[in-house]
Chain A
């Protein structure tokens, strides 16, 4: 790796997006390919091992989220209300479909090979990336803010603290619609890699870990984080980003306080707290072999328009034990 290394924060990419970094995602196949979405209307593909900006796509509106399907194809959504696909080795995008309002989030469901979008138009869209066909749009109780898929289970987090859980093989009706365990707006939701539940973060510095199984709701819990006490005032920051480690099942959280924590959800322990980044953490992603954590340090507009540190992407290389839980639960 070349260029600047900021002490303890990890290695900083040299050509970061020039406006808010809305999302970053590592390739599911290549441990050093990183895709980013930005408010500067660009999608960028980096090779982080050589600190190289491989490819750029210019959109007409800010890009809010991106995802990979395989190592060669990516998908983007944003304020232009369209779902687009990209061949990562070529310029140009093709439109797959659109929503009535901005599309906030996009995920790839590996099991079914479908793309799933969540929009502020209160719908979840399901798409077939091979034929560019819409497989249906499903009305939700509120604007969709975040969603994630594990196996056949889809979790959709919405405004009004609604959370709906679907089986993606039967999107016509939800398995469950529940109220978030958190009392404030959900910012991010991510599924446990073991398929048993999901974690969500709210604007009120709190993370909840819930299980899908309605019968075992006692197992769910929530805890405070991303807070800071200054002069007796408890500053509570939003939890903007969650990312699960691909092999250990531990997860990282990033907040508007600029802090990244690594949690062991099984043992209910915090494993790591990294030194504060220059500004809000807007997105986090582990790479496919779990050796790197990408951190987007990018002001998230929590306090409106204001001067803020430049947007930057840090790549932390993780020690073998860094995100490993002390004891794994009995499988």
Chain B
């Protein structure tokens, strides 16, 4: 976990724990999601700037950063991009992404909490998933069966998230108790949680610098595709197959929920924030729309995925002409 490795980390947003391909995109993200004035929509560069703006322009006290994870709404910490992120959180984030070393702690908790039956169930589920997903994406492995050597990358990424507490930052993530990870069905250990960092990209990005998991633990359960190393699908544009039973991109909930207290009219803001949110998890990192947010306020681009409903669509006759036909508006001479 030395400094060298940390340099390879992608820029990420301290407020919502989301990773970005490029620091520029992170700046734009923060301006749009976190440093936007709730009154007039003006985008500031820092939380402090927003506080001053709200105070001077609107005479309002701004106490919280919108769309931030619980515990990270403070406006006191001056963060710009990656600058100003508290060292502890930086470390924690690194651990989480790389998933190295710290695994033991997690394993301790989770494994010991499982009854043999549960383990069995999860093994079953795991096998099924593996069959469905020949690439053997990593996710559930840690639960039913601690993964083995050849399978290092993303797996840690996933379970580290799930097992947040061991990394000493339970607060900010608002971790639910371990229980949710072992639903009675024994099926899928991961349930999307609010506060969970975006799964899609970051985890896939993990392998390159994710320290290969320590070669410990029992042998892996049978996997159809033996030890297919993960890297073949480095930038996997889809969420890992095992996640399918859930709403595919767990990112979405994490992103759409926080705005609860957010600006009421944010929906009408031209495109960009949504673009980022929508395309983020599904588009491979290299093209996750980094350029688009450059001029957010009058952007003409938008993900054309939504179906369009034109409220008034008669291109030949104006509303006034139609309205004029109504008998009550009829005009008679005299």
Residues of A within 8 A of B (CB): 20, 22, 39, 60-62, 64, 79-81, 102, 104, 120, 143, 145, 159-160, 184-185, 187, 203-205, 221-229, 232-238, 256-257, 259, 263, 268-270, 272-273, 275-276, 300-305, 319, 321
Best-buried of B298, B300, B307, B317 by chain A (most CB within 10 Å):
B298
List 22 A–B pairs whose Cβ atoms lie within 8 Å, in order of A's numbering: A61-B331, A102-B324, A120-B321, A160-B316, A185-B316, A185-B318, A187-B318, A203-B312, A225-B270, A226-B268, A227-B268, A233-B309, A234-B307, A237-B311, A238-B312, A257-B268, A268-B297, A268-B298, A301-B320, A303-B312, A305-B326, A321-B57
Nearest chain-B residue to A65 (Cβ)? Answer: B320
Q: In the complex, how many angstroms separate the beta carbon of A256 from the nearest chain B beta carbon?
A: 6
> By the criterion CB–CB under 8 Å, are B331 and A238 in contact?
no
Dominant secondary structure of chain A at its interface with chain B: loop
Closest-by-CB residue of B relative to A259 is B268
Smallest beta-carbon distance A295→chain B, Å: 15
Q: How far is the CB of A220 from chain B (nearest CB, A)?
A: 12
Chain A min CB distance to B270 (Å) = 6
Given contacts A80-B331, A203-B310, A224-B300, contact A104 B268 (CB under 8 A): no
> Chain B contacts of A225 at CB under 8 A?
268, 270
Alpha-carbon distance A270/B272, docked complex (angstroms): 13
Residue of A nearest to B315 (CB): A185
A187 to B310, CA, bound (A): 14
Least Cβ–Cβ distance between B5 and chain A, in angstroms: 40
On whether the beta carbons of A234 and B306 are closer than 8 Å, the reply is: yes
- Counting chain A CB atoms within 10 Å of each CB, which of B295, B306, B310 scores highest? B310
Taking CB atoms, residues of chain B closer than 8 Å to A81 are: 331
CB distance from B213 to the nearest CB of A (A): 39
A-side contacts of B319, CB under 8 Å: 238, 300-302
In this complex, how many residues of chain B approach chain A with their Cβ under 8 Å: the count is: 40
Given the complex, which residues of B lie within 8 Å of A227, measured CB to CB? 268
> Is B22 on the interface with A (CB-CB < 8 A)?
no
A203 B264 Cβ-Cβ under 8 A: no
Contact B271–A303 (Cβ < 8 Å): no
B112 within 8 A of A: no
Are B268 and A159 in contact, with the CB atoms below 8 A?
no
Interface assignment of B120: CB less than 8 Å from any CB of chain A: no
A102 to B308, CA, bound (A): 33
Q: List A contacts of B268 (CB < 8 A).
A: 225-228, 257, 259, 273
Residues of B within 8 A of A221 (CB): 300
Residues of B within 8 A of A64 (CB): 320
Contact B315 A62 (CB under 8 A): no
Q: How far is the CB of A63 from chain B (nearest CB, A)?
A: 11
B301 to chain A: closest residue by CB: A224
A79–B331 touching, CB < 8 Å: yes
In Å, the complex CA distance between A301 and B322 comes to: 8
Roughly how many angstroms separate A64 CA and B315 CA in the complex, as a whole number?
20
Minimum Cβ distance to chain B for residue A58 (Å):
14
Say whether B274 faces chain A, with CB atoms less than 8 Å apart. yes
Of residues A184, A257, A273, which shows the largest number of chain B Cβ atoms within 10 Å of its Cβ?
A273
Main secondary structure of the interface of B (DSSP, over half): loop
The 3 closest A-B pairs by CB, nearest first: A61-B331, A302-B312, A234-B306
Minimum C-beta distance from B253 to chain A (A):
15
Chain B hits for A302, CB < 8 A: 311-312, 319
The contact of A233 among B271, B306, B320, B331, by CB within 8 Å, is: B306
Is B1 part of the contact surface with A, judged by Cβ < 8 Å? no
Residues of A within 8 A of B313 (CB): 203
State how many angstroms separate the Cβ of B170 from the closest Cβ of chain A: 35
Q: Is the CB of A223 within 8 A of B299?
A: yes
Give a binary string over B142-164; 1 marks a CB under 8 Å from any A CB, 0 the rest.
Answer: 00000000000000000000000
Nearest to B334 among chain A residues (CB) is A60
Interface check B267, CB cutoff 8 A:
yes
Task: Return the contact of B311 from the options A223, A232, A303, A321 (Cβ within 8 A).
Answer: A303
B41 contacts A by Cβ under 8 Å: yes
Contact with A along B15-51 (1 / 0, CB 8 A): 0000000000000000000000000110000000000
The answer on a CB contact under 8 Å between A273 and B40 is yes
Contacts of B295 in A (CB 8 A): 268-269
Q: Is the CB of A273 within 8 A of B269?
A: yes
Contact indicator A39/B307 (Cβ below 8 Å): no
158-181 of chain B: CB within 8 A of chain A: none
Judge whether B265 is part of the interface by a CB distance below 8 angstroms: yes
- Quick one: given A233-B307, A268-B297, A303-B311, are A275 and B270 in contact (CB under 8 Å)? no
Chain B residues contacting A160 (CB-CB under 8 Å) are: 316
User: Given that A236-B311, A303-B312 are contacting pairs, would A273 and B41 also be in contact in the complex, using a CB cutoff of 8 Å?
Assistant: yes
Chain B residues 89 to 110 lying within 8 A of chain A, measured CB to CB, are none
CB distance from A110 to the nearest CB of B (A): 26
For A229, what are the chain B residues with a Cβ–Cβ distance below 8 Å?
267, 274, 306
- Does B244 lie at the interface of the complex (its beta carbon under 8 Å from any beta carbon of A)? no
Q: How far is the CA of A159 from the CA of B314 in the complex (A)?
A: 11
Contacts of A22 in B (CB 8 A): 320
Query: Closest A-chain residue to B304, C-beta based?
Result: A234
* Complex alpha-carbon distance, A276 and B311, angstroms: 17
